[in-house]
Amino acid sequence: MHTRIPRPVRRGAVGVVALTALLALAGCSSDGDAEAKAKPTQSTSGKKATATTDSQASTPSEGPSAPASKGPVLPDAKLSPATGSFTANEKKYLSGRVPVDMDPAAVLQTGQETCQRIERTAAHDKNAAIGAIISGDLPEADAAIKQLCPKQQPLLDAAATGFADGTRKNPEPGTYQALTTAAGCTWQAMGEEGKVLAAGPGTGAGKKVTAEIPAGTRTFVSTGCYAWLPA
């Protein structure tokens, strides 16, 4: 039986109808018609994520892809299933990730399900999958992709060029696109002493939102925009 793993609280912006629906679809059980069961829902509350504060693009490994276990873990020599064996890449994924009181196969299943959600979401909308990696909606996506589903590496590479909704210090100048078409996405690019250099209101549901970050921007703040990628 396929175990459904609950999705973590969204670190990205709220109110992202299309992306929420796609991730809900990707998280469905493989039994039955997932598309028929998935229905878009409008989120009305949640936590806004804060992006990293350096001038480089944030990488997925800096957030949700860190090892899940912070306590004692099984040594690599004891990483073996009740029956059969793990592949070399599966062992790499499990290394330092399995609590001493947990079945390694259960931890591996979590990573495999993350890969399945990435693949299913990307099949409908690659930008939705990339945004979910950036925002942290897909737990431990970095390690899962590198060791369990390397065919999805292009999505991880794309996510490394973007950043999450929220506050970002010293962003690279350029044109960026929000990975949402929900109404209410707003942004400001501010220079020294908080002077507003550029700003953009939401353009309404169904329309793409772009932000022009000028040279000299010290702080870029966005709300309701989920995640950003270079345009």
Q: Residue 6 domain-assigned?
A: no
For residue range 123-151, list pLDDT tens digits in order. 999 999 999 999 999 878 999 999 999 99
Taken in order 46, 27, 168, 67, the sign of the CA dihedral is: positive
Residue 187 clears pLDDT 60, i.e. is over it: yes
Q: Residue 207 domain-assigned?
A: yes
Give the C-alpha separation, 189 to 166, whole Å: 12
In the predicted model, what is the mean pLDDT of residues 89-98?
95
Q: Residue 36 domain-assigned?
A: yes
Could you tell me the residue range of the domain that residue 21 belongs to? 17-230
DSSP result, 25-68: HHTS-SSS-HHHH---------------SSSSPP-GGGTTTS-S
- Give me the pLDDT at residue 26, please: 56
Residue 15 backbone zone (phi > 0: left; psi -120 to 50: alpha; other: beta): left
- Give me the pLDDT at residue 15, please: 40
Give the C-alpha separation, 200 to 122, whole Å: 28
Domains: count for the chain: 1
Give the C-alpha separation, 119 to 188, whole Å: 33
Q: Residue 150 domain-assigned?
A: yes
Q: Residue 4 domain-assigned?
A: no
In the predicted model, what is the mean pLDDT of residues 90-110?
94
Pairing of strands 219-223, 227-230: unpaired
- Give me the pLDDT at residue 23, please: 57
In the predicted model, what is the mean pLDDT of residues 102-117?
95
Pairing of strands 163-164, 227-230: antiparallel
Q: Taking Cα atoms as reference points, which of 8, 9, 18 lies closest to residue 178?
A: 18
Whether residue 138 contacts residue 81, with contact meaning beta carbons closer than 8 Å, is answered with: no
Whether residue 143 contacts residue 69, with contact meaning beta carbons closer than 8 Å, is answered with: no
Q: Residue 12 domain-assigned?
A: no
